[in-house]
Each structure stands twice: as structure tokens, then as C-alpha cells.
Amino acid sequence: MSFTDSDIDAAIAALSEPGRLSEAQALVSRAAPSLERVLGSALHEGGWFDSAHNAAVREAVNTQDPQERLVAIRTLFAEETRLTMLVGVAVGLELARELGDPGAAAGTDKATDQED
């Protein structure tokens, strides 16, 4: 399944409507401990927080100039947030696929596989 840029823009606009995410937020809140384990495992398996990450943390906190240290730490947090968000989206797409939503991820879904 492919989408145009305007399809994606329209879907994002729809998600921005007040109350649109209430049900999803409630579901995520209930499943948070399990989802956190899956996300942590995906980040670990992807090597996202390996020795290179630890070196970047050490470099940021050991920066001598306080202003430069603040910028380095803020940048590191922003990069980690973006990365975790993207991996979280991938986990969400796979979860939707596992639950049988055929439009959630590329590839086949269980409902189609079971019909064959």
C-alpha cells in the first residue's frame, strides 16, 4: 500500500483534531509496562544504546564549558527522543500488524495469511 504526500498530510491533520487520540492514549497507558519492555528490547537489539552512545554521553557531561555542556546534553536528549520515537512507531506498526490490521504495516497480515 502506498500513500501520497497529501494522503499523509491529511491523516496527520486528522490526528491533530482534539480528542482524536484519547482512546489510543488510554490503551497505551494500560499497556505501558509491556510496551516499554518491547521498546527497550528493540532499542537494545538495534544497537542504539551501545558503547558509541555511552561515549557520547560521557563526552557531553565532561565538556568543560557549562554552556557547551548544556548544548551537548540538550542535543543528546533531542537525538535520543527522536530515535526512540521512530523505534516506537515501528513497534506500534508491528503491534497493529500482529493484531490483524492489514493497513498497518508492509507485508502480509495474519488475517490474509489464515485465509490462504
- What DSSP string describes 17-29? STTTTHHHHHHHH
**55 within domain boundaries:** yes
Number of domains in the chain: 1
**18 within domain boundaries:** no
pLDDT tens per residue, range 35-47: 888 888 888 888 8
**57 within domain boundaries:** yes
**47 within domain boundaries:** yes
- Sequence-separated (6 or more) residues with CB below 8 Å from residue 98: 110
Q: Which domain holds residue 51?
A: 26-105
Task: Name the one residue in this structure whose C-alpha cell is 521498546.
Answer: 39
Q: Is the pLDDT of residue 61 over 70?
A: yes
Between 14-23, 43-52, 100-109, the lowest mean confidence (pLDDT) is in 100-109
What is d(CA 25, CA 10) in angstroms, rounded to the nearest whole number?
Answer: 21
**1 within domain boundaries:** no
For 7-28, b/e burial (b = at least 16 CB within 10 A) is eeeeeeeeeeeeeeeeeeeeee
Identify whether the C-beta of residue 69 lies closer than 8 Å to the C-beta of residue 61.
yes
Task: Name the one residue in this structure whose C-alpha cell is 557549562.
Answer: 66
pTM of the model: 0.62
**90 within domain boundaries:** yes
**116 within domain boundaries:** no
Identify whether the C-beta of residue 15 lies closer than 8 Å to the C-beta of residue 50.
no
pLDDT tens per residue, range 70-100: 999 999 999 989 988 988 888 888 888 888 8
Q: How much is the mean pLDDT over the chain?
A: 83
